[in-house]
Amino acid sequence: MTSHDLRPLKGLPSMGVLNCIVVEDNNKQSALLKEYIAKTPRLNFAGRCDTAGEVFQQVTLSRADIIFWDIRLLDNRVMLRLRESGYYPIVICIADKQEQDKKETDMDVFSYLNRPLSFERFLSTISKIQDYLSATIYIHHARNKPFVFIKSEYKIIKVKFEDILFCEGMKDYTQIYLKGKSDPILTLNNLKSFSFKLPPEEFIRVHRSFIVSLSHIDSIARNEIYIGKKIIPIGDSFKDDFYQVIEWNS
C-alpha cells in the first residue's frame, strides 16, 4: 500500500511527521504551543491562524494533520467546508474548564487541552492521538473498493463503506448498521472518534447520536431521515449543515 492509497487529513494521517497548526489570537499561548510542538517528536509546527477565517487556507496549504484551536475561535462552518473538500484534521480544543462547560460545540473535537497550558497536559493529549492512530489498523481507499477494518469484540472485521447505512453512538461505543445485516457491529469507539474513519463526502452527522450515509437515505420528512424501516431524528444544531449538503446534492 502506497501513501497515495490513504486519504489525506481524515483524522488518520500517515505514521510519519504530523503537521500542526495553531488557531490562537493570544501571542503568549500561541508561542507556548509552538514551543511544545517543537519539543515533541514527530510533530511539526506548520503555521498559526489568528482567526477561524484563515484556517481553511492554512490547512490546505500545510496539509495539517492536527489543529490546536482556541475555543473562542471555533467555527463549525469552517469544519464543514474542510469536510466537503476531503480534509478532516484532528481538532484539539484549547479551553479552560469554565469555557468548556459554557460553550458546547457540534464540531468533531477529538480532545480538550485545558488552560493553563502545561507540557505534561500537552504530552498526554498527544499520547491520546498516538493511541488512537495505532489502534486503527488502516483505511484503504483503493479505487471503487473503499473499506475499513474494525475491531469488534474478539474479531477484526472488514467493512465496506458502501455497506454502512448509519451509525449510532452509545456513550463509549458505536453501533454500525450494515446493508443486509439484521444486527449491528459494536465497536469500542465513541461516535466522534469513529467519524474520523468515514469518508466525509459520503457520511454526515445529523444528531449527537447518529451519522448517516447520504447514499442510503430513502426520504426526509418533518426533520426526520428514513433509511429502510429506521427513522433517524435531525438534531436542531445539525439542521443547517445537513440541509445545506442536501441542497448541494439536489
Work out whether strand 90-95 and strand 109-114 pair parallel, antiparallel, or are unpaired. parallel
pLDDT at residue 14, rounded to an integer: 44
Burial class (CB in 10 A: 0-12, 13-18, 19+), 212: buried
For residue 120, the tally of other CB atoms under 10 A from its CB is 8
pTM above threshold 0.75? no
3-state helix, strand and coil shares in percent for the chain, rounded to the nearest 5: 35, 35, 30
| Residue at grid coordinates 493570544 | 26
Domains detected in the chain: 3-135 (3.40.50.2300), 150-248 (2.40.50.1020)
How many Å separate Cα 32 from the centre of its chain? 25
Cα 61 from Cα 71, distance rounded (Å): 23
pLDDT tens-place values along the chain, 250 residues long: 223 333 333 444 444 678 999 999 999 999 999 999 999 988 999 999 999 999 999 988 888 889 999 999 988 888 888 877 777 788 999 988 777 666 655 567 888 898 889 999 999 999 888 877 765 433 433 334 578 888 887 888 999 999 999 999 987 899 999 999 989 999 888 888 788 788 877 889 999 899 999 999 999 999 999 999 999 999 988 888 888 888 877 7
What does the block give as the cell for 210?
447518529
pLDDT at residue 92, rounded to an integer: 94
Residue 172's alpha-carbon distances to 63, 88, 127, 189, 190, in angstroms, are 30, 21, 19, 6, 5
pLDDT at residue 140, rounded to an integer: 37
